Structure 1
């Protein structure tokens, strides 16, 4: 795809994997900003980008355009130590003055007020971007503002401290606002309280392995990198403060998260707000800038530049240079109701990498391979309940989800609230989930009286790994799409064992009514994916898998099909299958030699080395024996 603005020549000597350097990052930031500013109001307070409005309305969307692009400009100028050849900060200073002059009024420039999240909450999100932008550019923007503009900006920002955030990463928005106000000598008890509350919640939400839940519950996704790690650690870095415990936690997070990028630069397509695209690389850049990373500078640049280039090379920009709502191009099924035309510009967070100056090793060291390019890897993350599987030959990374469900404690489980971005059992860097209304990919469904089930609340049962293999397990109560939402006593226990490119999937269905049935699907692939999806029934299925159409496709392909197995259920039954997502189809004989199911569990003999996996239930335990006797 053609990128609609000029880039420097590639440098394959220092960047053998991507060809991109720091100059490319600056050029992309400038190109994105120039395109977005064509849609500004005369006073520069709002950027009314084209597209369907969000549920917050067009004025809030216009503020979002200003605030999120301001992040890109702030990282760009701060990283250049104030050099601003395109005059971005003059534009944002003018817009700040216009937007706060009569905030809350219905005129062409005024910013909406910040209210509680359930009333008019979106401006609270944007206040953090405004505050962070001002903090990063304090010597060149804030200090040159008239005193009355500074006072108006403070008054508007304090709305974030005086209203209730959503019960998740939103608490870091008043934290960031308060951090800015304190940094310019405007702190008080109100700012201190906002920061203390956010710190308290971060301790509650920290699960281990470098992962935070996004609020109470078990929502683990990309918000870890572009919000939950970013705000507190960047705040400490800018203040020159003690980074504990946030620095060590980011380091631990990156040990696993760095494996979640494919050889083509794609992040794992998992969780909400995926329209932020290359913001997925934010934590990589943050680690390099702050020094809290296990990665070498060359590996960090390869991952970050690879992710940025991945999207730009695949049509993520319009002909006018804008980021549309979607994944590559527009894609409605990727979106959430809160997304508006400016939402994709949270991708600006990736430009935190520009805070590393030109002479930083992030830019001067030679690029090194991404983790997926070095060797096959299987990594178990017990705290979030995730299992990561990467294969060097095809550069694909798969994420098996046995712990992230986007459910709040006390929230009722209904099929109507099924979320394809969390409820599926596996995600990857080369496929996306199918849309609602199509057959669900990577899904075990129990069907009772013709009604199928979805997976909502996920209860982890453990995860572990050995040399070249790993496993994760969970259980859930099936929730039905029609009739009674649940069947009393019905429960599904699921185990994934990853070895090489193979995924052994074992399910024990407990308490199913007589004459029920189960279906299991594999990966969704289409003619544009250049990947092969295979699914073999090993036990508990009536026939070989058959392809099922998903005509709405995925974020990767306009049309897809999904392999599906069908089996009978009733009482307690065990169902075993082998799935794979690879560049070329995988034959069953290449993977499994024998399967034995008995009352205690499942015993699988792998081919060709004759190693044995033993999966036991009650409690779940997985062991790998080196050789069959």
Structure 2
């Protein structure tokens, strides 16, 4: 079976002129710089159709966000202005479609009477939670002005420049959200200093943002998005992007030398999280930004802090762009939809509005590279996820990255990222985009209203527990382990000192999943689920009949097949229906195993459960039955593989408050 490449015939026709594929220069995606420019032009022309008469706001169609339609109109303006800035600045100021004059006019009109309730005025910037969304958009306005100053800022009347500065300074004088938002005032301040309007206030904003960034750095190129352990795409498209781009534009060599190596290390692992079909990993919030996931990849090339060859850089970037273009991310008139491929409500957050998807503009940072840069001229190379099977343990964020070259599929096993701040209580339900044990580039989590995929939980009094705060335990070259406290809905049981320890070990396409329940009452039901696979509804019934040999369940979709095999502790296997589907299809099925916590007296030492799982795009992949067996003695499980090798997972006999760090030993045949 050959490694998949991206189709040469889009499944979703584009509503604007698009050059023919260049399969000589770009054998995998067919895309060149000319295609990127054509997409930028098409997206901008489509969005500008919804501008107000004075161009102050861009009111894109769709349901409003919680911030209201005026803030949404600013969002539509600011995020598309960033796209226009990248397009024109990357062309050395050439603006054949006269995009920038319209945005410059919009700035002059929007800042004329800010805060007024009329058709053009921008909302004032407030504190997070109190008219705070404009602070996010101020960063896009400031960055776009910084990139295009010769053709925008310098051509604005002095009074308009003064008004714009005053509006932007609202970002410096109000409180951001306690996360990447502190980089928005940094970006505003960087622009003001670049045009000679810096002062003590701008210096403080930059210093504050950089100081907080240091406190959020966890190693291996990963920042947490604020205090806690929230690791997701914001690491690339915000936490690396804003400060390093500021350093690059300011020619701050000291800051570049400090932050740049972190980006290089980050890209070593992050570049693996793009499928051979171009898809980024489906994990974390704000996924409607789609190919913005490639922003850090482009930034690495722009600042010369990347481990990727130029042809591999373009492969990742163009792969992501083409993936979404081919699958309907743009509506029939060229406007970006709120969702993943087409519209998908579960992909969104409460702050998502019609203009939100246009943070995808960050995916176009490669346009700042000149046309003769090797990223544009080198022959496209395979994506990092293609070729040999890879496994990479990133202990800093708690991610185990698994790729298989045969199908180009990527999986991320999550043993460290959770969207809960240190000061927040663990209140269910959990967020499906953070709390699952695993994510992939071809499956999405089920909605909170459906049975959870890739989950381990208890059932008591008819209620199922949630996985919320995730505590890393230990890591090895091909495995990670974590612990969590099972939390039930309000009014449900509260189990003192209870926890579930979990470990994932990867061998090629296989996932060994071992769990131990500690201080859980004997007889408590335990459920463990596998991958949620999108399937057509008319095939759901025939695939939900039950388990096959050895209790193995199998769910086959159009692109992937998910399997789950009980090895120890599980008493039954089934397939559950997820009628809300996932971002990959309107209907999904989830394999699930059920077992029972062991006899009285075992609660403290724990009951061990083991299973084998797989997700594959290879239609010839064999069943899991017969590939492994397991023997359990107390807290130790020994797995014997079909090739004669073995793996021993020993959780130990203690019951520490944060879980016992398991030991893993492997013996070859």
SS at match of 1:245: helix
SS at match of 2:130: helix
Are residue 516 (structure 1) and residue 524 (structure 2) matched? yes
Are residue 575 (structure 1) and residue 609 (structure 2) matched? yes
* The one of 607, 612, 619 aligned to 2:642: 607
Q: Tell me the equivalent position of 1:435.
A: 447
* The one of 596, 612, 623 aligned to 2:631: 596
Aligned equivalents of 1:586, 1:580: Cα separation in 2 = 10
Cα 1:397–1:138 shift into 2, 3 Å: same
1:215-294 alignment runs, 5 A limit: 215-242=226-253, 243-294=256-307
Give the alignment's TM-score, normalised by structure 1: 0.97
Aligned equivalents of 2:562, 2:275: Cα separation in 1 = 17
Aligned equivalents of 2:101, 2:490: Cα separation in 1 = 57
Cα 1:118–1:50 shift into 2, 3 Å: same
Are residue 531 (structure 1) and residue 542 (structure 2) matched? no
Q: Tell me the equivalent position of 2:459.
A: 447
* The one of 435, 438, 445 aligned to 1:423: 435
1:81-96 alignment runs, 5 A limit: 81-96=92-107
Aligned equivalents of 1:369, 1:109: Cα separation in 2 = 47
Contact 1:15 1:367 in 2 (8 A): yes
Q: Alpha-carbon deviations, 1:14-67, whole Å to 9, x = none?
A: 101101000101010000000000000000010000000000000000000000
Aligned equivalents of 2:534, 2:320: Cα separation in 1 = 23
Return the offset for 1:372.
1.2
SS at match of 2:597: strand
Return the offset for 1:590.
5.4
Contact 2:313 2:375 in 1 (8 A): yes
Return the offset for 1:612.
1.4
Are residue 189 (structure 1) and residue 200 (structure 2) matched? yes
Q: Tell me the equivalent position of 1:541.
A: 570
Are residue 341 (structure 1) and residue 370 (structure 2) matched? no
Q: Alpha-carbon deviations, 1:468-500, whole Å to 9, x = none?
A: xx1011000001125246311211000000110
Q: Tell me the equivalent position of 1:479.
A: 487
Q: Alpha-carbon deviations, 1:80-111, whole Å to 9, x = none?
A: 11111111110110000000000011111000
Q: Tell me the equivalent position of 2:214.
A: 203
Q: Tell me the equivalent position of 2:136.
A: 125
Contact 1:477 1:486 in 2 (8 A): no
Are residue 359 (structure 1) and residue 356 (structure 2) matched? no
Contact 1:611 1:627 in 2 (8 A): yes
Q: Which moved further from structure 2: 222-231 or 612-621?
A: 612-621
Q: Alpha-carbon deviations, 1:149-181, whole Å to 9, x = none?
A: 000000000000000000000000000000000
Aligned equivalents of 2:664, 2:435: Cα separation in 1 = 27
Aligned equivalents of 2:267, 2:288: Cα separation in 1 = 22
Contact 1:183 1:239 in 2 (8 A): yes
Aligned equivalents of 2:288, 2:125: Cα separation in 1 = 24
Aligned equivalents of 2:102, 2:640: Cα separation in 1 = 65
Return the offset for 1:627.
2.2
Q: Tell me the equivalent position of 1:42.
A: 53
Structure 1 unaligned runs (5+)?
A: none
SS at match of 2:439: strand
Contact 1:399 1:426 in 2 (8 A): yes
Structure 2 unaligned runs (5+)?
A: 1-11, 536-556, 653-659
1:266-415 alignment runs, 5 A limit: 266-415=279-428
Aligned equivalents of 1:515, 1:87: Cα separation in 2 = 70
Return the offset for 1:305.
0.2
Q: Tell me the equivalent position of 2:579.
A: 551
Contact 2:563 2:624 in 1 (8 A): no
SS at match of 1:319: coil
Aligned equivalents of 1:29, 1:616: Cα separation in 2 = 54
Q: Tell me the equivalent position of 1:620.
A: 661
Aligned equivalents of 1:423, 1:621: Cα separation in 2 = 21
Q: Tell me the equivalent position of 1:7.
A: 18
* Count of matched residue positions in the alignment of Structure 1 and Structure 2: 620
Q: Alpha-carbon deviations, 1:118-154, whole Å to 9, x = none?
A: 1000000000000000000011111111100000000
Return the offset for 1:598.
1.1
Q: CA RMSD of the aligned region, Å?
A: 1.1
Q: Tell me the equivalent position of 2:70.
A: 59
Contact 1:63 1:126 in 2 (8 A): yes
Contact 1:449 1:516 in 2 (8 A): no
SS at match of 1:63: helix
Aligned equivalents of 2:661, 2:567: Cα separation in 1 = 20
SS at match of 2:592: strand
Aligned equivalents of 1:485, 1:81: Cα separation in 2 = 64
Return the offset for 1:239.
1.1
Aligned equivalents of 2:626, 2:28: Cα separation in 1 = 32
Contact 1:589 1:607 in 2 (8 A): no
Contact 2:387 2:406 in 1 (8 A): no
Q: Tell me the equivalent position of 1:24.
A: 35
Give the alignment's TM-score, normalised by structure 2: 0.91
Aligned equivalents of 2:232, 2:469: Cα separation in 1 = 15
Contact 2:65 2:354 in 1 (8 A): yes
SS at match of 2:375: helix
Contact 2:607 2:635 in 1 (8 A): no
Q: Alpha-carbon deviations, 1:559-613, whole Å to 9, x = none?
A: 0100000000152211100110012354224531x311112411111222x2211
Contact 1:580 1:586 in 2 (8 A): no
Q: Alpha-carbon deviations, 1:292-315, whole Å to 9, x = none?
A: 000000000000000000000001
Return the offset for 1:622.
4.2
